[in-house]
Chain A
Amino acid sequence: MSTEIQGSAYHREMPDWGWYLGVVVAAILWWLVYGQLSAFSEWVTSLFPVARDSHTGEAIAFFVYDVPKVLMLLTGIVFVTGVLRSWFSPEKTRAILAGKRQIWGYPLAAFLGVLTPFCSCSSVPLFIGFVSAGIPLGVTFSFLIAGPMVGPVGLGLLYGLVGWKIATIYLVFGFSIATTAGYVMGRMGLERYLQDWVRDLNAGPVGDLPEESLTLADRLKIGLEQVREIVGKVWIWVLAGIGIGAAIHGYVPEAMMLKIMGGEAWWSVPSAVVIGVPMYTNAAGVIPIVEALLGKGAALGTTLAFMMSVIALSLPEMIILKQVLTLRLIAIFIAVVSTGILATGYLFNFLL
């Protein structure tokens, strides 16, 4: 049997069993390598001519351990999510949400926001598609907030780097903020603050897209495509985030961290939000920083507030949404979501 590989990647047709076998082998390899990361990073660190317990030694160990760990977690999460999401689409989500004006439209939208494949480059067509199909504005916002805020990448990395307790807290509160913020904005009757041309669109022709019947191998292929695209795009943010995390881990004294990000100072939560909103990175870049902050004794509420504002409110996304929302509506959007984040931050600083 000849296994000649011909032409470009698009021509190469692998049989279905090749995909199944490949995924199983890759998963086993992933598991074996992941278990050895700690030993590997200690070994690499020992090659540097610095004492292991010095500031520099700590920083190097953090970096060398986190880089392969985060990249491996990211690859695994993106692949699994990519495959699962191939069963969902914005078109299906819209069909589910259309006409759901009842109160549970909000949590449903937030839930679907997590499952629906979504890229910020298509947030404008998506927004128009939702609004023109008669989905209430508040429900649309719940969807748009939940997508980035409680995305699988952020949750998975939080679970892998910080632990399940904090990942669960984040999931519950991120989801609550998306639901509540959408509800609050729904009650405010903000339709008049859409850009004129959006308001004038009546329920447009809802293009009925025929279901593409995909085989499991096709879906695995989509997962791999996602890995190639997303990991190829965010790795630089991951390295930057881990670099900052390593610097914090190695050099920032605990006493100073407690003073700046401890739970005592009332202003620590709002400053975390003010710093977090304009910061543009993604979940994969911010969680190594969160890991280092928490490790140094930063208060959980302050750290959560920082992480949520970085992930959920990003300036570039606001600029994209400017095409459909007036500045006033964008300001209300930021204010409502920030309030939810502030409340979460204070709650945890107060409780713990």
Chain B
Amino acid sequence: MKSVKIYGPGCKRCAETEAMVKEAATRLGIDLDLEKVTDAKSIAMAGVMSTPGISVDGKLVHAGGLPVASKLEQWLTA
């Protein structure tokens, strides 16, 4: 079970990132506990300044733009 948070105010890229995360998890056979953080204050306090940001098990792994698919698999399996 991986707890993944996606930080973003709800822009198009954030939705795409969510889809990529879900797809990667399905491909790898990983259970996801996915949470979307859309509140600007919470986003900023998590240390994310460019959205979308991704954290896995409480650790921030990415901020700004769509993630690279191969990196995403690394983060989810780490």
Chain A interface (Cβ < 8 Å from any Cβ of B): 8, 10-11, 13, 89-91, 94, 117-119, 121-122, 124-130, 132, 197, 201, 204-210, 212, 214, 218, 221-222, 225-226, 229, 323-324
Residues in A whose Cβ lies below 8 Å from that of B49 = 90-91, 94, 122, 125-126, 129-130
Q: In the complex, are the beta carbons of B71 and A212 less than 8 A apart?
A: yes
User: What's the dominant secondary structure at chain B's contact region?
Assistant: mixed
B34 at the A/B interface (Cβ < 8 Å)?
Answer: no
Q: Can you give 23 contacting A-B residue pairs, CB < 8 Å?
A: A10-B20, A10-B69, A13-B69, A89-B63, A90-B50, A91-B47, A119-B50, A122-B8, A122-B43, A122-B50, A124-B44, A126-B49, A129-B47, A129-B48, A132-B44, A204-B45, A207-B60, A208-B60, A209-B61, A212-B62, A221-B68, A222-B68, A323-B40
Q: Are A208 and B47 in contact (CB-based, < 8 A)?
A: yes
Are the C-beta atoms of A225 and B66 separated by less than 8 Å?
Answer: yes
Contacts of A218 in B (CB 8 A): 68
Q: Give 11 new A-B contacts, CB below 8 A, not counting A125-B51, A225-B65, A324-B40.
A: A13-B70, A89-B63, A122-B51, A124-B43, A124-B44, A125-B49, A129-B47, A206-B47, A208-B47, A212-B62, A221-B68
0/1 string, B34-75, CB within 8 A of A gives 1: 000000110111111111000000001111111011110000
Chain B residues within 8 Å of chain A by Cβ, number: 30
Residues of chain A within 8 A of B50, CB atoms compared: 89-91, 117-119, 122, 125-126
Cβ–Cβ contact A119 & B40, under 8 A: no
Give CA–CA (A206, B78) in the complex, Å. 23
Contact partner of A229 (CB less than 8 A), chosen from B13, B45, B61, is B13
Asked whether A207 and B46 contact (CB < 8 A) given A125-B51, A128-B40, A128-B41, the answer is yes
Please, which residue of chain B has its CB at the minimum distance from the CB of A207? B47
Contact with A along B7-33 (1 / 0, CB 8 A): 111011100000010010000000000
A201 to B41, CA, bound (A): 10
Task: Decide: A129 near B41, CB < 8 A? Known: A210-B61, A212-B71.
Answer: no
Q: In the assembled complex, how far is the CB of residue A324 from the closest CB belonging to chain B, in whole angstroms? A: 8
Greatest chain A CB density within 10 A among B9, B12, B20, B44 is at B44
Residues in A neighbouring B48, C-beta threshold 8 A:
125, 129, 207
Known: A10-B23, A129-B49. A91 touches B44 (CB 8 A): no
The 7 closest A-B pairs by CB, nearest first: A207-B47, A128-B44, A129-B49, A90-B49, A124-B40, A125-B44, A122-B51
The residues of A that contact B61 with a CB separation of less than 8 Å are: 209-210
CA distance A130 to B23 in the complex (A): 33
